[in-house]
Structure 1
Amino acid sequence: MIYESGEIMHKTSEIESEISKKSKYKNLYFHYGGDILHKKIQPAYLKMLLDFDKICKENNIFYLITAGTLLGAVREHGWIPWDDDIDILVWHNDFKKIGIAIEKSGMSDKYQYIHPENSSIVTVDGKFMSKNVSLGSLMGDMGIGHPLYMDILPIENVPDNKVFREIKSLFSRVLMLSYNSLRCLKENDELLDIMSRDSIELRNNLRIRRFAAIPARLLGQKRTFKLLQFVNSYPSKNTKAVSVPLGVKMYKGEIVSRSVFAQSTSLSFEGHLFPGPIGYKEYLSNRYGNDYMTPPPKNEQGIKCFQKRADWKKIYLDDRRKRCEK
């Protein structure tokens, strides 16, 4: 069976979410609902987006809001009620420039840029990360940790030759699955490994993930990502189509016509104007389906926000010691 990277990653997260609610593990996570999301987290992210917009304008970096942020701007003129992040696109050549732009704009005391090639964490996204604001600081509990960050992905050219395109898509999908599966190795997520002892479903899921991670483990995290970048990139700027190959639908699923991202159009988001793709209708139809303007059913609109606490291990060991003393 061939597992799509996005599907299997989503499945792992869904299983973790359910187990994290059990009494044995719930103190190791920070769960939050609509009140915290709307009053604290979303406003903090909006401030970050405004600063990012300023940095990009000062440094002539073309960027676009995308994914749930774009959908919110088009459908809600602001946040989707259950959305808890910001998604950004830049052209391939600007993917590494954001760190330099932060320095030039004098905001290095507030933000840093985490590029996947230079990161110890397993991520395909660039991360525009706050140095001062975290879930912990917003909640007055620094043990929660988790600095706020915005996800940034590159737009890549796609060859017109369909056979070449299929080959690139295949290799990109395999590399994405293997690279992302590194997150589930014991050394990268010890708590997942602990929780798998209480869940056959999670245990089986991790077995698949760890088998899939073998190529990336042999190559090494950084070399695998560089190879993934090489596979996804294409030098010609005259192709008919482009893709966001590191996106949730991966290389082939994210392909749209070049005209979609050729220019930006101003879209209202929480009373501010931000650049969205001029062809946002084509993009959103491809990403979410032709009925993207129709919100999902009520039972699918729930806020399922949770984060593993930064101090989870101390809490876990303290709880285990107390149980042993009884």
Structure 2
Amino acid sequence: MKEIATIAELRSIQLAVLDHITTYCDKHGIVYFLACGSLIGAIRHKGYIPWDDDIDLFMPRESYNRLLAAYRDPDPRYALLAPGRATRYLYTYAKVVDRRTLVVEDEVPGYELGVYVDIFPLDYVTDCRWLRRHVVWKYKKFIYRMRRCKMQPNFLASRWRYLLYRYFPLPLRAIDSLIGHTLTGHKPTGTVCNMTEANALERECFPAHCIEGERVEVDFEGKRYKTMPGYDEYLHHLYGDYMQLPPVEQRVHHHFAAYWRDA
């Protein structure tokens, strides 16, 4: 295998994945939003944040589910990975990956996939902050911790893992189904959130009206991509004065190694 040694080469692969999935979504009427650090980069730098090395998309839950149901790997270079679509898939959200590449990340040693673009569903959540903080988040963290433990083959590796194995003998598919039925917001509220993260923060919830209405286009690495109409309110809510550069010590990138599989 040949290492993908430069960030420029890595980004070129990611951008090709982004073009593939956004073209597919536009063709099939699936709504997506450039999001998170990728959206900050688009607004502040008209491309990647200089030290960033990934791309994030949000989708309303309805569009996210449509994508998972309809996408059938139309281009052999790419694959859509998500719980239920890939065997023992570690993550709780979707990724579109370049099959020709290999990525091994420090936070999940030994788990391999291709260079990717992340796709996170947005779900409605209760507007009550007290309920989110004291009920929803705690329940969600428990369910996701149980799922992660089920992904590990050695149930004796920790006391927590053993207790889950002993008293909650649910298969992984059942846990994923439980997540889908209990953490997915089916009734509109005034608040949306990315519920796929085990340790969701209160600030990651933002007003639902930010994603309602006609999307707008933003510049990203010389092309135009769609994002939510209320992007400015969303970014201020999540990051504060997002047009200001963070302190140098916070300008960090992900840690992983990337390779071409057939080189």
Q: What range describes the TM-score normalised by the shorter chain of this pair?
A: 0.7 to 0.9
Kept in 1: contact 2:144–2:198 (CA 8 A): no
**Aligned partner of 2:219 among 263, 268, 277:** 268
| Shift in Å, 1:101 | 4.3
The answer to whether structure 1 residue 113 and structure 2 residue 80 are counterparts is yes
Q: Closer, same or farther in 2 for the Cα pair 1:175/1:163, shift >3 Å?
A: same
Distance 1:258 1:113 in 2: 27
- Equivalent-residue separation in structure 2 for 1:126 and 1:250 (angstroms): 17
Q: How does 1:137-216 map to 2 (within 5 A)?
A: 146-160=113-127, 165=132, 166-182=134-150, 185=152, 207=158, 210=161
Distance, in Å, in 1 between the alignment partners of 2:177 and 2:65 is 13
Distance 1:310 1:214 in 2: 38
Q: Which residue of 2 aligns with 1:69?
A: 38
Q: Quote the Cα distance in structure 1 between the aligned partners of 2:219 and 2:168.
A: 43
- State the partner residue of 2:6: 36
When the two chains are superposed, the root-mean-square deviation of aligned CA atoms in Å is 3.5
Question: Where in structure 2 are the equivalents of 1:304-323 lying within 5 Å?
Answer: 304-307=254-257
Alignment check: 8 A CA contact 2:103 2:256 kept? no
Aligned equivalents of 1:108, 1:217: Cα separation in 2? 40
- The residue identity in structure 2 corresponding to 1:257 is P
Q: Which residue does the alignment assign to 1:316?
A: none
> Following the alignment from structure 2 to structure 1, what is the Cα–Cα distance between the partners of residues 90 and 55?
19
Q: Distance in 2 between matches of 1:216 and 1:87?
A: 36
**8 Å contact kept, 2:141–2:199:** no
Q: Percent identity?
A: 20
Once the two structures are TM-superposed, the CA of residue 42 in structure 1 deviates from its matched residue by 0.5
Question: Quick check: which has more Rg, 1 or 2?
Answer: 1
After superposition, the Cα gap between the structure-2 partners of 1:251 and 1:179, relative to the gap in structure 1 and judged at 3 Å, is farther
**Could you report, residue by residue, the CA deviation over 1:198-247 in whole angstroms, capped at 9, with x for unpaired residues?**
xxxxxxxx84874786589732322222212222222223x211111114
List alignment gaps of at least 5 residues for structure 2.
Answer: 105-110
Shift of 1:130: 2.1
Amino acid at match of 2:234: Y
Residues 244-291 of structure 1: CA deviation (Å, up to 9, x unaligned): 111475274421111111132211111111112222223223333x13
Equivalent in the alignment of 1:19:
none
Task: Quote how far apart the aligned CAs of 1:63 are.
Answer: 0.5
1:52 aligns with 2:21: yes
Q: Describe the SS at the equivalent of 2:141.
A: helix
- Cross-structure match for 1:297: 247
Question: TM-score scaled by structure 2?
Answer: 0.79
Distance 1:253 1:231 in 2: 21
When residues 96 and 45 of structure 1 are mapped into structure 2, their CA distance, relative to the original with a 3 A threshold, is same
Report the 3-state secondary structure (helix = DSSP H, G, I; strand = E; otherwise coil) of the residue aligned with 1:96: helix
Do structure 1's residue 127 and structure 2's residue 104 form an aligned pair? Answer: no
Secondary structure of 1:121's aligned partner: coil
How has the CA–CA distance of structure 1 residues 145 and 223 changed in structure 2, closer, same or farther, with 3 Å as cutoff? closer
Query: Aligned partners of 1:117, 1:88: CA distance in 2, in Å?
Result: 20
State the 1:156 CA deviation: 0.8
**Closer, same or farther: CA 215–295 of 1 in aligned 2, 3 Å:** farther
Separation in structure 1 between the aligned mates of residue 121 and residue 233 of structure 2, nearest angstrom: 18
Equivalent AA in structure 2 for residue 156 of structure 1? D
Unaligned runs of 5+ in 1: 1-29, 137-143, 189-205, 312-326
Q: Measure, in 2, the Cα distance between the counterparts of 1:210 and 1:127.
A: 26
Asked if the contact 2:217/2:226 (under 8 Å) is kept, the reply is yes
Aligned residues of 1:245 and 1:254 also touching (Cα < 8 A): no
Alignment of 1:86-97 (within 5 A): 86-97=55-66
Q: Which residue of 2 aligns with 1:24?
A: none
Q: Give the direction of change, closer, same or farther, for the CA distance of 1:40–1:177 in structure 2 (3 Å limit).
A: same
1:61 to partner: Cα distance: 0.1
Question: 2: distance between equivalents of 1:74 and 1:115?
Answer: 29
CA contact (8 A) 1:155 1:243 kept: yes
Q: Give the Å deviation of 1:299.
A: 3.2
Q: Which has the higher helix share?
A: 1
Count the aligned residue pairs: 250
User: Quick one: structure 1 residues 272 and 310, their matched pair in 2 at CA, closer, same or farther if it must change by over 3 Å?
Assistant: closer
CA distance in 1, matches of 2:237, 2:197: 12
Aligned to 1:202: none
Give the letter aligned to residue 216 of structure 2: T
Q: 1:85 aligns with which of 49, 54, 61?
A: 54
Check conservation: 2:56, 2:118, Cα contact below 8 A. yes
